[in-house]
Amino acid sequence: MEKTASKIIVIGGSAGAYELIVEILDHLPTEFSVAIIIVLHRNSKYETKIETSLSKRLNRNVISVRDKLPILENHIYFAPPGYHTLVEPDCIFSLDISDPVQFSRPSIDVFFESAAAVYGKNATAFLLSGANNDGSEGLKALVNNGSTCFVQKPEEAVINTMPLAGSLVSEKVKVISNQHIIDYFSQLM
Amino acid sequence: MAELKDSNELSFAEVEEIVFLLKNVSDFDLSGYTRSSLKRRIQRIMNLEDMDMVDLKNALINVEGFQQYFIQEVTVNVTEMFRDPGFYNKLNKDIIPYLQTFPRIKIWSAGCSTGEEVYSLAILLKENNLSDRAFIYGTDINSKVLDVAKKGIYPIKKFKEYSDNFNAYNSTESLSNYYTARYDAAIINHDLRQNILFSTHNLATDQVFNEFHLITCRNVLIYFDLKLQEHVINLFYQSLALFGFLCLGTKETLMRHDIMENFKLIDKEYNIYQKIK
Ligand SMILES: C[S@@+](CC[C@H](N)C(=O)[O-])C[C@H]1O[C@@H](n2cnc3c(N)ncnc32)[C@H](O)[C@@H]1O
């Protein structure tokens, strides 16, 4: 029986984040009790087949979020391009097609804010490489709701704008190296 | 660094208070709407209007016209002509030939917002010489977007994207054959507007009003919880002629609903279903 995840890890990334995300997924243990939810900026007109190719290669549950999917343990979810992804209080996803926020849909801010409201201290967030400020507002909401927040060490990011902005949100946001990020995920339980 | 606390951050409990209040003082029932989206939209209205919870409740009860305004702003009306070009391709290739066999074709675009979807369907019908035999009903809960739909006049700057969509759907023609540009406006051609009726209809509370061969309800169910979805899909089922088609948005599905057994899946990517019993 697949169980609803009581803890989630959320990852936001944009330009330059994809390679690290793949590396993270490559290092995951066979089973883990959280759900991993990834919001990566990508163009909706060229819907990439990231999920299907990763799902095949890694032989695990890598899923593109659809309307009202439950958030399950040991699953990896990607926010689909062209929609905002939100988390509902009963721990299922919902989608929203309202205007892009800071030119982004999915918006990392929108997703992080809703994850913060529902999961609070049971959420852990990572903000990775990117060329804009998306995610900072979301980190603020996560910090305020007791979530643990990390940003990729800006010096190691392909493009440092996003993690740099994120690191300035609060002292509670921890800066973390690529190696430590990968270690974190490889030690997931 | 100071800890930045958003003092007016709305809680889910406060969202419930607003839903409950609105249900009691108006005809609008948002009980079945997804809470995270409602929370965001209500928060947005409060920020726009510089209101706190007390102000908002007061306005919903006492300010003339505010309930209507609230519904307009709480719903998401973003739309495009030929959104998901592949969907219109599929309609054109596989569904239209089937519909052609009916003497009259009745279409319902439910949650049509400002009408772009309706005019896209009208273009599809025209291309297939079906305009005279077809009738399209465009409905929405929000009367303000329907006013825009009825006028058929849009900001020309939106037509760059609409043309890209159209070209992705059909590269041999140009969308400009279907509208007239005047200053910064695009005016939909008059011959496209024959046999179209726009009218308010609330999917959560209103009834069946006609029988249809094709129903499109795209990017509306994402705002409804599974229970309200069930209700609305039942309404569609009852409104469809036997062997009529139901088209949902690309991320929406009938699969999680029992009523699926009365439908046949026609297209998995674009979520097109046919009523088979
Ligand atoms: C995002 S738009 C979708 C427009 C178009 N179908 C498309 O896919 O581009 C959603 C529409 O659903 C409408 N809507 C929301 N709740 C409704 C209800 N209870 N009954 C009818 N329409 C509703 C909104 O007013 C809005 O115009």
So what's the ipTM on this one?
0.94
pLDDT at B173: 87
User: Rounded to a whole number, what is the distance in Å from the CA of B185 to chain A's nearest CA?
Assistant: 21
Cβ–ligand 1 distance for B250 under 6 Å, the answer no
- By percentage, how much of chain B surpasses pLDDT 90? 94
Opening angle at CA B14, ends B8 and B17, nearest 5: 145
pLDDT at B24: 96
Is pLDDT larger for residue B90 or for residue B2? B90
Confidence band of B2 (pLDDT split at 50, 70, 90):
very low
- Kindly report the average pLDDT of chain A as a whole number: 94
pLDDT at position A132 over 60: yes
- By percentage, how much of chain B surpasses pLDDT 70? 97
Indicate the pTM of the whole model: 0.95
User: Rounded to a whole number, what is the distance in Å from the CA of B194 to chain A's nearest CA?
Assistant: 30
Judge whether A126 and A40 are in contact, CB under 8 Å.
no
Q: Measured between alpha carbons, how far apart are the two ends of chain B, in Å?
A: 64
pLDDT at A47: 61
Instruction: Tell me the three-class secondary structure of chain A, residue by residue.
Output: CCCECCCEEEEEECCCCHHHHHHHHHCCCCCCCCEEEEEECCCHHHCCCHHHHHHHHHCCCEEECCCCCECECCEEEECCCCCEEEECCCCEEEEECCCCECCECCCHHHHHHHHHHHHHHHEEEEECCCCCCCCHHHHHHHHHCCCEEEEECHHHCCCCHHHHHHHCCCCCEEEECHHHHHHHHHCCC
- Name the residue with tokens 């009208």: B122
**Residues B220-254: pLDDT tens digits?**
999 999 999 999 999 999 999 999 999 999 999 99
Judge whether A176 and A153 are in contact, CB under 8 Å.
yes
pLDDT at position B8 over 90: no
Mean pLDDT of A152-163: 97
- By percentage, how much of chain A surpasses pLDDT 70? 97
Q: Is A101 exposed, middle or buried (0-12, 13-18, 19+ CB in 10 A)?
A: middle
Counting one residue from chain A and one from chain B, the pairs whose CB atoms sit within 8 A come to 79
Which residue from A89, A98, A168 is facing B76, i.e. has the nearest CB? A98
Which residue from A88, A99, A172 is facing B34, i.e. has the nearest CB? A88
pLDDT at B4: 47
What letter would DSSP give residue B33? Answer: B
Give the helix/strand (H/E) hosting B108.
strand B105-110
pLDDT at position B207 over 70: yes
Token pair for B74: 């709480």
pLDDT at A53: 84
Confidence band of B256 (pLDDT split at 50, 70, 90):
confident
pLDDT at B198: 98
For residue B83, the chain A residue with the least C-alpha distance is A45
- Cα Dmax for chain A: 43
Confidence band of A56 (pLDDT split at 50, 70, 90):
confident
Task: Find the B113 Cα to ligand 1 centroid distance in Å.
Answer: 6
- Kindly report the average pLDDT of chain B as a whole number: 95
pLDDT at A44: 66
Domain ranges of chain A: 8-186
What residues of A are annotated to the active site?
14, 41, 134
Cβ neighbours around B62 below 10 Å, total: 9
Cβ–ligand 1 distance for B248 under 6 Å, the answer no
For residue B199, the SS3 value is: strand
pLDDT at position B3 over 50: no
User: Rounded to a whole number, what is the distance in Å from the CA of A186 to chain B's nearest CA?
Assistant: 32
A26: left (phi over 0), alpha (psi -120 to 50) or beta: alpha
Token pair for B226: 């599974």
pLDDT at position A148 over 80: yes
pLDDT at position A1 over 80: no
Mutate which of B82, B113, B117 for ligand 1 pocket (most atoms within 8 A of beta carbon): B113
List Cβ neighbours of A154 (8 Å cut-off, separation of 6 or more): A160, A163, A164, A167, A175
Strand order in the sheet with A148-152: A62-64, A75-78, A35-40, A8-13, A123-127, A148-152, A173-176
pLDDT at A13: 97
pLDDT at B170: 77
Task: Find the A75 Cα to ligand 1 centroid distance in Å.
Answer: 31
For residue A168, the chain B residue with the least C-alpha distance is B1
Q: Which of A26-61 are b and which e, b meaning 16 or more Cβ less than 10 Å from the residue's Cβ? A: eebeeebebbbbbbbbbeeeeeeebbeebbeeeebe
Judge whether A79 and A73 are in contact, CB under 8 Å.
no
**Residues B50-89: pLDDT tens digits?**
999 999 999 999 999 999 999 999 999 999 999 999 999 9
For residue B252, the SS3 value is: coil
For residue B73, the chain A residue with the least C-alpha distance is A98
Mean pLDDT of A83-101: 97
The torsion angles phi and psi of B76, rounded to 5 degrees, stand at: -105, 120
pLDDT at position A116 over 50: yes
pLDDT at B264: 97
pLDDT at A45: 61
Domain A8-186 has CATH 3.40.50.2030: no
Going by CA atoms, what residue is nearest to atom 15 of ligand 1? B75
Mutate which of B73, B75, B121 for ligand 1 pocket (most atoms within 8 A of beta carbon): B75
Q: Which of B161, B152, B99, B146 has its CA nearest to residue B125?
A: B99
Q: What is the Cα–Cα distance from B29 to B125, expressed in whole angstroms?
A: 35
Which residue from A89, A97, A140 is facing B219, i.e. has the nearest CB? A97
Going by CA atoms, what residue is nearest to atom 9 of ligand 1? B79
pLDDT at position B106 over 80: yes
